[in-house]
Chains A and B, each alone.
Chain A
Amino acid sequence: MTDSAALVIRGLSFSYGPRAALEDVSFHVPAGGVTALLGPNGAGKSTLMTLTAGLLKPPPGTITVLGHDMAAAPRKALARTGIVFQQPTLDLDLTVAQNLRVFASLHGLPRKVTEARMAEELERLDLTGRATEKVRALNGGHRRRVEIARALMHKPDLLLLDEATVGLDVPTRKALVAHVHALARDTGLAVLWTTHLIDEVDPATDRVVVLHKARVRAEGAVSDVLKQAGAEDLATAFDRLTGPDAAPLTEAAQ
């Protein structure tokens, strides 16, 4: 069912000069859950995220966020979207609160609303008490949490996380993954999470989209992807779908 999906991508293609980064990519992200966009480095995940964030000219195909076409109404789509980029994007010399306030202003949130949301999001991400600390003084895990809190300040319906755990140690990574899953479960948020780390997927609840060499190789619940790849676990399925011996696209995946 894509009618009620938070994000619908249909027939998306994009190339960097002669090199295709995305070819006829289609999938959807339903509300209230995490969709993991899995793929090895260079699969096209970050390009997809950049396009969904409206930072590149819309190519052939459509990106629809909560019914708003990114090409026709990018501002309406962006108003419903929270984004955590792969690269850190916080102002290091500003405090946590100052970073959040500046971001809230970019979404036109009044001061009272900003202060209330800031308290709410900092508490949700276990950052209460860190508001007045400079970001420079925080460790990598806390900085990532601040970025997630910032992305949630305007109460988006769709959260895009582009390799949000890169550079974090294992316990911090696990904690962050748990936070995001709890967020989706508790708030009905739709999350598109790009990663190449299989263990960040919750096999019980997550949907999976496997992207490899610019194309979607498999999509669906974990059980569907296992079926499509003929594998018993996700790691094996991922290897089969993205390894050097990856089989040609199945009809189901196409």
Chain B
Amino acid sequence: MSAALIALRGIIAREILRFVHQRSRFLGALVRPLIWLLVFAAGFRAALGVSIMPPYETYITYELYILPGLVGMIQLFNGMQSSLSMVYDREMGSMRVLLTSPLPRWWLLVCKLLAGTVVSILQVYAFLLIARAFGIETPGWGLLAVLPALIASGMMLGALGLLLSSAIKQLENFAGVMNFVVFPLFFCSSALYPLWKMRESSVILYQICAVNPFTHAVELIRFALYLEFNAAALGWTLLAAAVFLGFAVLGYDPARGLMKRKAAEA
């Protein structure tokens, strides 16, 4: 096995071990979307009707509609959690260990990204199984078909987290990320309501939702859960992932980005 793959294996193992040791993080990752699914969705079921629209072939319950959005939510929050832990690692110094490895820095960041994606996928499958236990079911094969979509969406949202971690100077600034990044991404998307409903309310909001990369990630997951392929959603998700990762690599370059700015401010 090449040194690059050995590093990938090691970094994934580290993230999984850290995740396993942080049981509260696992519970938190599951409780949040489950409350949305079992409480919020139940309350809004009567208020929000969902007409027949692709990939659905018949009327569906609101719980089924928001299921892919909540899967996206798990990955979004996991991406932000990874970002938070990278800012913490950088402040505590352990990020230095990663960045002084003799492997290319961009590869180390990709390894970190893949590791975070693996952890998010574990959370997603746990969530989907619990949802099934409550009778909120998608086609059985969809659980397998959604895996590539989860990898793509997890990479995109993880890359966004990496980019944010390269730009955030201090841990204290992280609350701003929730207000200015996570909430707008989640609410200005098709996670909770179909975009046609948003268009009825506001064309501008609809347009914002339509270009939101999180919308495309959710739609990619939604179609994959029903064994359908959404090429446009995949294309936009991968494009967003590449752009976010590219800027994150620049951000972690000692000659540019935060590392240089931190040095200048020290």
CB within 8 Å of B: which A106-124 residues: 106-110
Q: B102 — which chain A residues lie within 8 A by C-beta?
A: 75-76, 78-79, 107-108
Q: Given the complex of chains A and B, what is the CA–CA distance between A189 and B264 in angstroms?
A: 33
Decide if the interface of chain B is mainly helix, strand, loop or mixed: helix
Report whether B7 and A105 are in contact in the complex, using a CB–CB cutoff of 8 Å: yes
What is the number of contacts between chain A and chain B, taking CB atoms within 8 Å?
A: 99
Given the known inter-chain contacts A75-B103, A78-B102, please indicate yes or no for A85 contacting B93, CB distance below 8 A: yes
- The answer on a CB contact under 8 Å between A101 and B13 is yes
Are A108 and B263 in contact (CB-based, < 8 A)? no
Measured between alpha carbons, how far is A53 from B93 in the docked complex, in Å? 13
Interface string of A88-104 (1 = CB under 8 A from B): 11110110001001111
Are B94 and A94 interface neighbours, CB within 8 A? Answer: no
Categorize the interface residue count of chain B.
Answer: 35 or more
Does residue B202 face the partner (Cβ distance < 8 Å to A)? no
Contacting residues, chain A, for B14 (C-beta < 8 A): 91, 94, 98, 102
Residue in A closest to B255 when the chains form the complex, CB atoms:
A57
**A150 vs B53: C-alpha distance when bound (angstroms):** 56
Whether the Cβ atoms of A16 and B254 lie closer than 8 Å is no
Interface size class of A (residues with CB under 8 A): 20 to 34
B17 at the interface (CB under 8 A from A): yes
Interface flag for A54 (CB, 8 Å): yes
Bound together, the chains give a CA A85 to CA B94 distance in angstroms of 9
- Could you give, for residues 29-68 of chain B, a 1 whenever the CB lies within 8 Å of some chain A CB and a 0 otherwise? 0000000000000000000000000000000000000000
Q: Which of B160-188 contact A (CB under 8 A)?
A: none
With the chains together, A89 CA to B14 CA distance in Å?
Answer: 14
- 9 cross-chain CB contacts under 8 A: A83-B100, A85-B96, A85-B97, A89-B96, A106-B7, A106-B97, A106-B98, A106-B108, A108-B102
Which residues of A does B touch, CB under 8 Å? 16-17, 50, 53-57, 75-76, 78-79, 81, 83, 85-91, 93-94, 98, 101-110
Given contacts A55-B96, A57-B260, 7 further A-B contacts (CB under 8 A): A16-B263, A78-B101, A90-B94, A93-B18, A101-B13, A105-B7, A108-B102
